[in-house]
Amino acid sequence: QVKLVESGGGSVQAGGSLRLTCEASGYTYRDKCRAWFRQAPGKEREGVAAISTGGFSAYYADSVKGRFTIFQDNDKNTVSLQMNSLKREDSGMYYCAVTSCRAEWWRLSASSYNYWGQGTQVTVSS
């Protein structure tokens, strides 16, 4: 049974940084692509960043390019999101997600991902 557990969320002032980590169990990292999504109240869930199995390819939403970095540790089966220069609009619930790399994982579409964590809250204040 696939289980994803996010951690690292919290409250931070604008301009600050946070690192989110997703610990995965119940599957091996091979042929699995992973991503981070976020959802603000009243808004749709949006893709933030995604990474391929070997970490050679990563994709980012335009709104976070240059500020966020997705990376993974396949030995520990974790995927992390380093978030720098945070803005108020980055606030929301952040979710870790996993899918087969044969899916269109790079599109950062929630419908392409079939395993999800429970989320961790990020609040950025000005």
Contact 23, 78 (CB under 8 A): yes
Q: What percent of the chain has pLDDT over 90?
A: 83
What mean pLDDT is predicted for residues 30-53? 94
Helix (H, G, I), strand (E, B) or coil at 112: helix
Summarize pLDDT for 2-31 with one digit per residue, the tens.
999 999 999 999 999 999 999 999 887 778
Q: Tokens for 16, please give them.
A: 């600050």
Helix (H, G, I), strand (E, B) or coil at 48: strand
Nearest residue to 19 via CA among 90, 69, 78: 69
